[in-house]
Amino acid sequence: MTQGILVINSGSSSVKFALFSDDGLSEPKPLFKGQIEGLGTDPCFQVKDSNGRKIDARDEWPRGSTLNHTGALRYILSWLEDCASNVKIQAAGHRIVHGGLDYEHAVRIDKHVLEDLEGLIPLAPLHQPHNLAAIRALAEVAPKMPQVACFDTAFHRTQPRVAQLFPLPRALAEAGVRRYGFHGLSYEYIAHCLPDVLPDADKVVVAHLGSGASMCALLDGKSIESSMGFTAVDGLPMGTRCGGIDPGVILHLVQNLGYDAKAIEKLMYKESGLLGVSGVSNDMRDLETSDNPHAAEAVDLFVYHIGKYLGMLTSALQGIDALVFTAGIGENSPIIRERVCQRAAWLGIRLDREANRKGGPCISTPDSPVSAWVIPTNEELMIALHVRNVLQLG
Ligand code: AMP
């Protein structure tokens, strides 16, 4: 019987999962990756094997059905029992968006941890409740299975205090109004790869460019600054999120344009970014192929802001040895990588266009003073490694 680790990433309308085999010695190996989408409207189960091949799955739910997190996890576990019957799942790890100030590392979940994490819901109301719903659901479906919480904020707890503070009255910082940073599991995975890929690079900027996008400055593999702050809406423009805007805009919307908190939340999280500026799509593939000038402007804005943050993060690092691209756009869009690198020529990045077209891993010329790289992220593997370490499996 092979030992396995289940990784869960639960959102409002989907539960994503990955199953790894784990011998406790070598890196956990992916076996299956899948998801149930459309929990609230017509659930749909999809799964791929370790080679990325789609596995035919039965269409389980009649049209018009809904599923809660418990139903979704019950289905996933029973599918794995049937289709990975030689794997004994020993534990599960969850991606949890917010660990606040106290959780600097992944942790085994018990009643007290769960209560603490519930207390952080106001800091991440769009994600944390769904992350926690999956913990409760799994405890119901598999009560004996140990569960580990892995936080998107934890990796950034190494940032210096000045990077974490807002220039607001002290009492607010003490009440938790601080810059936390997100996408930490992705940055931690890249930091985990750097000693092999770039052993001599101390100062590295990582651009995690996906439907959520952020950038992080790594000094000797530790986060010292990031583009996201108090929430995952800060920093770069994203698929539908606005990124950093002057807080005065919010006051103007409330005082003069009749917006309330709910309307502002919708505007900032769902209607802005690439979608809001282009009016075409939140998907970079659509924008790159569109001849609509507003689509081109949305791409220009995205590239411009990446360049702006690259300068800021280089200043935080007091220099730069390498730039790493990762996540959906970073890994798959030579156009965006080329445009970002061209704007960063002043920093010493010389792009190798052919290597970039082929997807790297190194996309800069051999004589480039600052190197540029494509490293596919693997947050699921990072979670599996945390589960193994926290529970001392193996
Ligand atoms: P992620 O959130 O990391 O899964 O990234 C999702 C985003 O990656 C999608 O919204 C697309 O905009 C983008 N993406 C995926 N493949 C490509 C591609 N070949 N070219 C440009 N963008 C891509």
Asked if 393 contacts 22 with a C-beta cutoff of 8 angstroms, the reply is: yes
210 lines ligand 1 (CB under 6 A): yes
At 49, list the tokens: 């094997």
Nearest CA among 190, 182, 121 for reference residue 154: 182
Cα of 327 vs centre of ligand 1, distance in Å, is 7
Question: Measured in whole angstroms, how far is the alpha carbon of residue 128 from the centre of its chain?
Answer: 14
Nearest CA to ligand 1 atom 4: 328
Beta strands 87-96; 147-151: pairing state? parallel
| CA–CA gap between residue 380 and residue 33 (Å, rounded) | 9
pTM score: 0.95
Radius of gyration (Cα) for the chain, nearest Å? 21
| CA–CA gap between residue 90 and residue 144 (Å, rounded) | 9
The residue assigned the tokens 């607010």 is 172
Domains defined along the chain, listed by start: 2-151 (3.30.420.40), 199-379 (3.30.420.40)
| CA–CA gap between residue 172 and residue 222 (Å, rounded) | 26
* Ligand 1 binding pocket mutation candidate from 208, 333, 375, 379 (most atoms within 8 A of CB): 333
**Tens of pLDDT, residue by residue, the chain (394 residues):** 899 999 999 998 999 999 999 998 899 999 999 999 999 888 999 999 999 999 987 767 888 889 999 999 999 999 999 999 999 999 999 999 999 999 999 999 999 999 999 999 988 888 999 999 999 999 999 999 999 999 999 999 999 999 999 999 999 999 999 999 999 999 999 999 999 999 999 999 999 999 999 999 999 999 999 999 999 999 999 999 999 999 999 999 999 999 999 999 999 999 999 999 999 999 999 999 999 999 999 999 999 999 999 999 999 999 999 999 999 999 999 999 999 999 999 999 999 999 999 999 999 999 999 999 999 999 999 999 999 999 988 6
